[in-house]
Structure 1
Amino acid sequence: MRVPPFEYYTGLLKATGLLIAGIIIGSALFMSIYHQHLNDALVDNRELRAKIEKLEQDNDSFKKTRNQQSVINSIDIVVEPGDLNPLDKVTEQEIERRVRSDLSVIKGQKIATFAETPHVYQRLLSQKTYHGILDKDYTVSLKTMLLIQNELRVWVTAKEFKRSTM
């Protein structure tokens, strides 16, 4: 039995190897693009869910206090990064959601009551640590509280909490 010479198949082997390498590179490129689009869709989904939750809470409070003029109806939170590292959108939204839930006791209160004791609400957020936000902890400090008509606007700075190891 005679074995055909290997030189006849070198071109076929090169073409097969090139085809397999192209398939691997193409699938890796496809997966990276797919992952990026999926990540964008998940971030948009979280943003929209947070907006829906905020709008539902605002709608409920507006229904309760529709006829009262001197009551805090909505709370708007602005989260700013405290370090040089900017916060990603998911972390920023989670911090905003947690701060809003902490300040939910203010909704429905009279503006005069809030104006008499703003330091109580300032202490509520001074150096508060939120645990378990994307496997990190963040310390939030109050920067500014501004009351405009029926809306309370709160600016907070968020820094990543570093635990001291001893």
Structure 2
Amino acid sequence: MKVPPFEQFTGLMKATGLLIAGGIIGCAVFTAIYHHHLNTVLIKNKELQAENEKLIQDNNSYKKSKNQQSTINQIDVTVESGDLDPLDKVTEQEIERRLRNDLSVVKGQKITYFAESPHVYQRLLAQKTYHAIQDKDYTVNVKIMLLIHTELKVWVTAKEWRRTVP
């Protein structure tokens, strides 16, 4: 039995190899583009969910105290990065959500109670560590707390908490 010579199939083998390599590269490029768009959509969805949750909480507090002008009705939290590397949007929103939950005890209180002892509320958040935010821990420090009409505005800096080994 005679084996056919492969010299006549070398062009066909090169074309087949090029076709397979092109398919693999095209699949990798498509997957990268798809992953990028999916990541963008997921981040936008997380932002909208956080905004929706905040608006629902604000709406409920307004319904409860719409006729009372001397109580704190709204809490606005602004998170700034304390390190050289900035925080991503999802991390900022999670820290804001946790801070609003911690400060929810202030909602509905009279403004005079807050004005008498603002240092108590600052100590509530001083050097507070939030655990397990995207597999990292963050320490929060209060920069400024302002009370404007019925809105409490809080500016904080968040740094990644790193355990120091003695």
TM-score when scaled to structure 1? 0.98
User: Which amino acid is 1:66 matched to?
Assistant: K
Structure 1 position 153, deviation (Å)? 0.7
Equivalent residue of 1:80, what SS? Answer: strand
User: Which amino acid is 1:163 matched to?
Assistant: R
Structure 1 position 112, deviation (Å)? 1.1
In structure 2, distance between residues paired with 1:147 and 1:14: 74
User: Which amino acid is 1:146 matched to?
Assistant: L
In structure 2, distance between residues paired with 1:71 and 1:37: 44
In structure 1, distance between residues paired with 2:43 and 2:3: 60
| Residue-pair matches, total | 166
Match in the other structure for 1:24: 24
TM-score when scaled to structure 2? 0.98
What is the CA deviation profile of residues 54-96 of structure 1, one whole-angstrom value per residue up to 9, with x for unaligned ones? 0010000000000001111110110000000100111111001
Structure 1 position 2, deviation (Å)? 2.6
Match in the other structure for 2:43: 43
Sequence identity percentage: 70
In structure 2, distance between residues paired with 1:24 and 1:140: 46
Match in the other structure for 1:84: 84
Equivalent residue of 2:102, what SS? Answer: helix
What is the CA deviation profile of residues 111-155 of structure 1, one whole-angstrom value per residue up to 9, with x for unaligned ones? 111111100000001000000001100000000011111111100
Equivalent residue of 1:76, what SS? Answer: strand
Moved segments of 4+, more than 3 Å: none
Match in the other structure for 1:106: 106
In structure 2, distance between residues paired with 1:162 and 1:117: 32
In structure 1, distance between residues paired with 2:127 and 2:74: 23
